[in-house]
């Protein structure tokens, strides 16, 4: 290659539009990773780190920013304070390892005080220039080719309400954060038809938002907002929902012998199918060359993604430190367990005969016990041991029976005999039942009992009827089971 050709190539490269990638996270609330109690739970700092590394490999001009509320979920409880502080430090280490360039200082980040927040080393700021990106609170965004404002006050709803104000300030993109509750409106959302595009990302680290910015053409014309893969996926999901509803109505019309309605509904289904085919066949719009553009997509951090080894080591080390800390604290403080009174129902475990009784759960309900032994409930504590989480206050209460109740374990050092989700976790404390059967227990536990642990953030897709079928068996609620002795 001649010198003249090389110089021309360099000039062409210098004149080429410059793509910038912004990666956005918010409302992490101290979550290191999903608990793993259900299949395909999204999230995890190790997955996020691997995803960001891949994005940087695709475009070195990648800027990772956050909308705040990274460190804590809620007010610090005295018993859990040391663990929550340790977790916040681990979150900060992981985010620093990912190259977090700036984050808004959210209210939940300051729950342990501003000095602690500063000690984490996170780049808290309300106004910062990061290369071509001006980042900050609405009203404080510095001048830059791309101006990004954080609206930290109520998620995408508040972001859309302030989008017109953002446009008047010359903002190109609004990042929405700080939903009132961690599970409120817990969705990836890009509102592209607002005066300024508004992006909200799932909390608890379940997803990352990826915003592609192409700085080309006449920047005075403003940014073109292009639909991306995420918007196409949303449109296809909506079509699938509508098609399923028409199919349901079609079946009802055919069953009723209404041929005219059935024909009309069949036509609607065909239209939706043709629309889906056309959407899938059409390419996404190409960025214009005469003006800059923004395109938004989301990266759900599902369990089929790889993990960053360095961040995984950080998490493993954290779990070990928390286990040693909590176990030592429990042994040293010797927290008193709830009093057990003879007239008050208390937990006895599957192998203990209460005072005044003659039999325990295992010996009196042999068929039910054998059925229970084959369920995940019986191995709930073992799953914690395999992950080194049996002394973790985030987990242990739902993996033992009778946590902090009369006869139950009072701390992580006193779980022996109550490990696993035993009979009494569902049917209630059995001390009086063992002495005076058949009463004093709940024979058919309500769904609310299950929902105490099968929460939306820990038990993906929980539905009481189908989940209950998984724990029934011979002598334990299965249809046609022989009666157990009282």
- What does pLDDT average to in each consecutive run of 10 residues of the chain (486 residues)? 51 59 97 85 95 97 97 93 97 98 97 97 98 97 97 95 97 94 84 94 95 88 82 79 89 91 90 86 83 93 95 97 95 80 84 77 88 92 92 94 93 93 94 89 92 85 85 80 48
Sign, CA torsion 286/292/293/294: positive
Domain boundary among 309, 325, 352: 309
The contacts found for 260-263 with CB under 8 angstroms, 24 or more apart, are none
Integer Cα distance of 291 and 183 in angstroms: 38
Q: Rounded distance, CA 352 to CA 329, Å?
A: 28
Tell me the three state secondary structure of residue 128. strand
- Sort residue 154 into left (φ over 0), alpha (ψ -120 to 50) or beta: left
Clarify whether residues 146 and 245 are in a common domain.
no
**Same domain as 305, residue 251:** no
Residues 161, 241 within the same domain: no
Within this chain, do residues 264 and 290 fall inside the same structural domain, yes or no? Answer: no
**What is the model's pLDDT at position 13?**
41
Radius of gyration of the chain (CA): 28
Together in a domain, 137 and 210: yes
Strands, DSSP E only, in 353-486? Answer: none
Strand pairing category for 207-215 and 18-25: antiparallel
In this structure, what token pair is assigned to residue 13?
């490269």
The whole-number pLDDT of residue 175 equals: 98
pLDDT at 185: 83
pLDDT of residue 31: 96
Q: Is residue 438 part of a domain?
A: yes
Count the alpha carbons within 13 Å of 242 in the hemisphere toward its beta carbon.
16
Q: Give the residue among 484, 23, 19, 13 at the shortest CA–CA distance from 210.
A: 23
- What is the pLDDT, as a whole number, of residue 14? 43
User: Could you tell me if 44 and 186 lie in one domain?
Assistant: yes
Whether 149 is in a domain gets the answer yes
Does 236 lie in the same domain as 356? no
Does the residue 326 lie in any domain?
no
pLDDT at 10: 43
380/403 Cα distance (integer angstroms): 14
Bridge partner residues of 173 (DSSP): 148
Do 299 and 367 fall into the same domain? Answer: no
Q: Which residue, among 415, 420, 387, 465, has the nearest Cα to 35 in the 3D structure?
A: 387
Q: What are the residue ranges of helices labelled H in 334-379?
A: 361-364, 366-373
Total tally of structural domains belonging to the chain: 3
Residue 104 backbone dihedrals phi, psi, to 5 degrees:
-70, 140
216 and 241 inside one domain: no
Asked if residue 111 is part of any domain, the answer here is yes
Q: What is the CATH number of the domain that holds 93?
A: 3.60.21.10
In a domain, 166, yes or no: yes
Does residue 112 belong to any structural domain of this protein? yes
- How far apart (Å, rounded) are the C-alpha atoms in residues 37 and 435? 35
Based on the fold, state whether residues 278 and 291 are members of the same structural domain. no
55 domain residue, yes or no: yes
**Rounded Cα gap, residues 188 and 156, in angstroms:** 10
Same domain flag for 103 and 242? no
Do residues 302 and 409 both lie within one domain? Answer: no
> Own/partner pairs for 41-44, CB < 8 Å, 24+ apart?
41/303, 41/460, 42/202, 42/206, 42/207, 42/300, 42/301, 42/302, 42/303, 43/204, 43/205, 43/206, 43/301, 44/205, 44/301, 44/307
- Please state the pTM of the whole predicted model: 0.84
C-beta of residue 23 within 8 angstroms of C-beta of residue 52: yes
Domain housing 273: 231-283
**Residue 212 included in any domain:** yes
Q: Which residue has the tokens 């309400």?
A: 161
């Amino acid at each position: 290659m001649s010198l003249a050709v090389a110089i021309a190539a360099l000039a062409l490269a210098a004149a080429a539009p410059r793509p910038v990638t912004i990666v956005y996270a918010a409302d992490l609330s101290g979550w290191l990773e999903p608990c793993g109690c259900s299949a395909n739970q999204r999230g995890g700092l190790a997955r996020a780190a691997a995803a960001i590394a891949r994005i940087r490999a695709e475009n070195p001009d990648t800027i990772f920013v956050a909308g705040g509320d990274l460190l804590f979920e809620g007010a610090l409880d005295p018993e859990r304070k040391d663990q929550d502080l340790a977790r916040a430090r681990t979150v900060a280490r992981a985010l620093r390892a990912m190259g977090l360039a700036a984050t808004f200082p959210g209210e939940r980040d300051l729950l342990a005080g501003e000095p602690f927040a500063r000690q984490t080393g996170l780049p808290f700021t309300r106004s910062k220039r990061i290369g071509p990106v001006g980042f900050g609170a609405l009203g404080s965004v510095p001048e830059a080719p791309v101006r990004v404002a954080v609206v930290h006050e109520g998620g995408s709803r508040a972001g859309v309400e302030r989008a017109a104000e953002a446009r008047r300030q010359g903002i190109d993109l609004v990042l929405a954060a700080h939903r009132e509750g961690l599970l409120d409106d817990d969705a990836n959302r890009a509102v592209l038809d607002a005066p300024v595009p508004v992006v909200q990302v799932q909390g608890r680290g379940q997803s990352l938002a990826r915003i592609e910015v192409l700085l080309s053409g006449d920047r005075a014309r403003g940014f073109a907002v292009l639909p991306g893969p995420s918007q196409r996926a949303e449109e296809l999901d909506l079509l699938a929902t509508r098609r399923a509803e028409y199919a349901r109505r079609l079946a009802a019309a055919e069953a009723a012998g209404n041929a005219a309605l059935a024909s009309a509904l069949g036509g609607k289904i065909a239209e939706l199918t043709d629309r889906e085919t056309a959407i899938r066949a059409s390419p996404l719009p190409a960025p214009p060359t005469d003006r800059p553009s923004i395109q938004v997509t989301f990266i759900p951090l599902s369990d089929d993604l790889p993990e960053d080894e360095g961040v995984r080591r950080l998490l493993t080390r954290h779990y070990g430190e928390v286990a040693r800390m909590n176990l030592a604290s429990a042994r040293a403080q010797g927290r008193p367990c709830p009093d057990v009174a003879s007239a008050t129902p208390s937990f006895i475990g599957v192998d203990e005969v209460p005072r005044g009784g003659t039999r325990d759960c295992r010996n009196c309900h042999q068929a039910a016990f054998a059925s229970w032994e084959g369920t995940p409930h019986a191995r709930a504590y073992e799953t914690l041991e395999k992950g080194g989480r049996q002394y973790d206050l985030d987990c242990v209460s739902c993996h033992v029976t009778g946590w902090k109740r009369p006869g139950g374990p009072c701390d992580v050092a006193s779980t022996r005999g109550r490990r696993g989700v035993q009979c009494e976790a569902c049917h209630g404390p059995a001390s009086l039942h063992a002495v005076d059967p058949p009463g004093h227990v709940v024979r058919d536990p309500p769904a609310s009992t299950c929902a105490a642990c099968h929460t939306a953030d820990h038990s993906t897709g929980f539905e009481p009827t189908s989940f209950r079928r998984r724990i029934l068996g011979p002598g334990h609620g299965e249809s046609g089971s022989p009666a157990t002795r009282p």
